[in-house]
Amino acid sequence: MAKLVSFNVNGIRAIMKKDFEADMKALNPDVLCLQETKAQDDQVQEALASFKDYHIVSNSAVKKGYSGTAIMSKEKPLDVIFDIGVEEHDQEGRVITAEFKDYYLTVVYVPNSGSDLKRLDYRTTWDASFLKFLKDLEAKKPVIVCGDFNVAHRDIDLARPKANYDKSAGYTQKEIDGMNAFTSNGLVDTFRYFHPEEVKYSWWSYRGGARARNVGWRIDYFLVSESIIDKVKSAEILNDIKGSDHCPVMIELK
């Protein structure tokens, strides 16, 4: 059985000064996928040097201290693919894919549309390009994709849907349509598969004590190819783990 964890750490160097190392070593995942490392590749390796049991690959943005992803795996991947092969989308270190024997594992940090929705049109083209990338992978073997998708899919996935609908980044119809495209093209939202009606969030604003009041959003996901949903034993959101404005999400494979 394998335990896969995804965590938007909101700065790998910052979170390493908190309880991250102890929390992750207690959780002991087989694979840990990180988003928003906010560091260059050498800085990621240096920050994670104490994780001796893991192979670590990272993808950094051209712009320093911004975005960035990493995959830490106990098993060395057969191959690693960086980005999605579309130059417009490949400047911000947002995607890494690790190939394992039975599946591709992709970590993603999807672009945020911005507080005034300035990047919404860009985000829409990103979603379409990323879906094509995943389906091209899936033509070879099943896909597991995890990370911060920067969208709440349905009303149940955020505390205040009416106040945010079509006004706030992460809950516009275009972003919802983007997530609909993933889930209607053979990718299963694992948390909703196991917990169809459970209200649980993975991100809270730092403002106004949102986390303490649980005024949150579920924007972190594990999606898997329909062909391997029967290999997934469980899907959870780990609300108790702090250190970021997000919390980790996890699946266990049989």
pLDDT at 22 over 90: yes
23 counts as catalytic: no
30, 83, 127, 148: which is the annotated catalytic residue? 148
**230 given a catalytic annotation:** no
- 3-class SS letters over the chain: CEEEEEEECCCHHHHCCCCHHHHHHHHCCCEEEEECCCCCHHHHHHHCCCCCCCEEEEECCCCCCCCCEEEEECCCCCEEEECCCCHHHCCCCCEEEEECCCCEEEEEECCCCCCCCCCHHHHHHHHHHHHHHHHHHHCCCCEEEEEECCCCCCHHHECCHHHHCCCCCCCCHHHHHHHHHHHCCCEEEHHHHHCCCCCCCCEECCHHHCCCCCCEECCEEEEEEHHHHHHEEEEEECCCCCCCCECCEEEEEC
What's this model's pTM, rounded to 2 decimal places? 0.98
Catalytic residue among 104, 109, 171, 221: 109
Query: How does pLDDT run across 182-232, given as a tens digit for each residue?
Result: 999 999 999 999 999 999 999 999 999 999 999 999 999 999 999 999 999
